[in-house]
Amino acid sequence: MTDVVAAALDSTPVVGIIRLPDASGAVAAAEALWRGGVHAVEVTLTTRGAADAIRALRDREQGPGVIGAGSVRTEADAREAIAAGARFLVTPTFRPAVLDAARAEGVPVMCGGLTPTELDSAAQAGADYLKLFPASAVGPGYLRELLAPMPDLRIIPTGGIGADDVATWAAAGAHAVAAGSALVSAELVARQDWAELTARAERFARSWPR
């Protein structure tokens, strides 16, 4: 499974985050992001009905598009998401039990942290990627300083990132970026404006320097 996630991020180093009150529009939203070139998409477990949406999207994956689960905080969350077909898990914090459950099934984890100790500890424990969260609280300069002594860390800044910020984070050494409300808003989903979601995805995808 790790290979398909790596391929999705190699193709477009952007993770789309779908966090909604409920999952009624999550499938269509994810497909809109895939069409726009954002291939790694997570549905957060804070979204009511997330497991059902992940299950449906696993059956509808398109090309390099893959579906994952976000806001995974416990071993039970991890098992539920994996059973639903999540290709990858994203955590807001460093939770060894989540890593252990995912690694037992060969599912990669983007493990959350903010401090150098948290991020390096997660990497040493086996996290495939590191989610710098909340990235908006520290900025690209912080990432650049983190990577100076630890250049091997594959860090994905998350939180408050817009399309105009992508190139700056990439220049600071980000492996990829993740975007939530700037990419998928509840308002657009409620209006079923899938064309706008696709356009936003295209803008994020174009913003990563090649």
Catalytic residue among 61, 131, 187, 202: 131
Cis before 134 (ω within 30):
yes
CA distance from start to end of the chain = 26
Class of residue 154 by CB neighbours under 10 A (exposed 0-12, middle 13-18, buried 19+): middle
HSE-CB of 118 using CA atoms within 13 angstroms:
16
Catalytic residue among 42, 75, 80, 118: 42
Q: Is residue 31 flagged as an active site residue?
A: no
Rounded Cα–Cα distance for residues 104 and 56 (Å):
23
| Residue 83 burial (CB count, 10 A) | 12
Rounded Cα–Cα distance for residues 66 and 150 (Å):
28
Q: Is residue 196 flagged as an active site residue?
A: no
CB 43 within 8 A of CB 30: yes
CB 163 within 8 A of CB 147: no
Which of 90, 96, 100, 164 minimizes the C-alpha distance to 132? 90
Q: Known catalytic residues?
A: 42, 131
